[in-house]
Amino acid sequence: MDKEVEPFCRALPKVELHAHLNGSISVATMERLIARKPHLNIKHSMTAIHKGQRRTLDECFQVFKVIHQLVDSEEDLLMAAKAVIREFSEDGVRYLELRSTPRVETNTGLTKRKYVETVIEAIRQCKQEDVDIDVRFLVAVDRRNGPEVAMETVKLAEDYMLSSEGIVVGMDLSGDPMVGHGKDLLPALQKARNCGLKLALHMSEVPCQKEESELLLTLPPDRIGHGTFLHPEVGGSWSLVHKVREGNIPLELCLTSNIMGKTVESYEKHHFPYWYKLGHPCVLCTDDKGVFSTSLSQEYQLAASTFGLDQEALWILSQQAISCSFAPEAIKQQLEKRWAEHPLQLTYSQDSGAKRK
């Protein structure tokens, strides 16, 4: 790999659109959380999957259950969320959409409303502290909790979309893909769309979701998470591919997550190049940077080394992610301006001018 790619990817201004809050907590922050709760006897190995290790999706979801034990109060959540935001900023991420499912913790008095308000407060505090990043929040529907809870979550998201001054911009559909069926959640997702919330839906994460994906595409979603098995060669269909392409629905692609979660056999066999070569909008994301021991800079490096992308291609990927975001148009324009004025872009402009001469 080009020895200049690593520093380039760190310096590159980036957009992160698929980051689960609890899965993005770093080892350093985990140490602080574990120290607060020694009685739980939780070890670091229980909260992250390290390089070279692979786990089934079910084993990955078990990791989240452990993390939830550590983040069970407003104080824990505020500290963790602020740390995650700062770390993304330190990695060169200039626009971030965090997603998380509101939870109830009876032992600490944490309610779903307090959960959402605490994440919003963390975002506001980081802004007040001049952390160099614009952050928005997607309220997540966990498919495991069923249609009634999904509808309650939509109402919660709608309330905060109207009262958070633009911080809450959409909804995520996630959770164990082997549990439940999208048809039961369709009314809630339709309600969310009707009230103005953007939809980022995990789709075709496992091979058996072909029928569900066809159904969810009728909404349609504004972005698709993973989309691993949309293509007919891996259990999807040309109909799914056609609908995604026809709607120009961006894909949130998470290389390391898919490999470590065993939904993709190897980096070389990832579905990124299939969509990328079609010119379809693809956004590189981390999914769970803490759990999978990665960063967005590392995901860009992986794309470069695995698929032969040069620095210009990486720049274009990063810049095009702005238009795939759920940011208000005014914010998108500010981000475009920031990218245009970035030293890396100015270097490209100078190089292009030199070549023309």
Q: Which residue has the tokens 């529907």?
A: 141
**Does residue 226 form part of some domain?**
yes
The verdict on residue 127 lying in a domain is yes
**Residues contacting residue 310 through CB under 8 Å, at least 6 positions apart:** 2, 304
Angle between helices 74-90 and 27-36 (to 10 degrees): 160
Look at residue 350 in the predicted model and tell me its pLDDT: 45
Task: For residue 71, tell me if it sits in a domain.
Answer: yes
Q: Return the pLDDT at 344.
A: 85
| Separation CA 97–CA 85 (nearest Å) | 10
If one counts the domains in the chain, the total is: 1
Average pLDDT over residues 345-355: 51
Catalytic residue of the set 205, 212, 252, 299: 205
State the Cα–Cα distance between residues 53 and 259, nearest whole angstrom: 9
- Whether 110 has a pLDDT exceeding 70, the answer reads yes
226: nearest Cα among 259, 189, 251: 251
CA atoms within 13 A on the CB side of 109: 2
Q: Is residue 357 part of a domain?
A: no
Distance from C-alpha of 323 to C-alpha of 329, rounded to nearest angstrom: 9
Instruction: Please tell me the predicted confidence (pLDDT) of residue 41.
Output: 85
- Mean pLDDT, residues 341-350: 71
What average pLDDT does this structure show over 281-293? Answer: 96
**Predicted pLDDT of residue 46:** 75
Nearest to 174 by CA among 211, 210, 198, 139: 139
Mean pLDDT score across all residues of the chain: 92
Residue 213 falls inside a structural domain? yes
pLDDT per position as a tens digit, 149-202: 999 999 999 999 999 999 999 999 999 998 988 999 999 999 999 999 999 999
Could you report the per-residue pLDDT of 326-340, keeping only the tens digit for each?
999 999 999 999 999
Q: How many residues are there in the chain?
A: 357
117 is catalytic: no
Average pLDDT of the segment spanning 300-310? 97
Range from 50-54, 70-74, 321-325 carrying the lowest mean pLDDT? 50-54
pLDDT at 63: 79
What the block records as the tokens of 339 is 């990218």
In the numeric block, which tokens belong to residue 203?
A: 């789709």
Whether 357 shows a pLDDT value over 50: the answer reads no
Q: What CATH number did the domain enclosing 121 receive? A: 3.20.20.140
* Low-confidence winner among 26-40, 126-140, 252-266 (lowest mean pLDDT): 26-40
Question: In 3D, which of 42, 80, 24 has the Cα closest to residue 257?
Answer: 24
Q: What does the buried/exposed string (b/e) look like for 14-38 if buried means 16 or more CB atoms within 10 Å of the residue's CB?
A: bbbbbbbbbbbbbeebbeebbeeee
Question: Following CA atoms 132, 94, 25, 117 in sequence, which dihedral angle do they give, to the nearest 10 degrees?
Answer: 70
Q: How far is CA 240 from the centre of its chain?
A: 22
CA distances from 350 to 2, 17, 131, 303, 344 (A): 21, 30, 30, 25, 10
Rounded mean pLDDT of 118-134? 98
Per-residue model confidence as pLDDT tens digits over 22-69: 999 999 999 999 999 899 888 767 777 766 666 666 666 677 788 899
* Residues β-bridged to residue 198: 170
For residue 356, is it within any domain?
A: no
pLDDT confidence of residue 280: 98
- Angle (CA) 149 155 156, round 5°: 90
Instruction: Determine, yes or no, domain membership for 151.
Output: yes
pTM for the whole structure: 0.94
Residues 6+ apart with CB under 8 A from 144: 175, 176, 179, 180
**pLDDT higher at 220 or 235:** 220
Residue 234 has pLDDT above 90, yes or no: no
pLDDT at 351 over 60: no
Residue 337: give the domain boundaries. 5-351
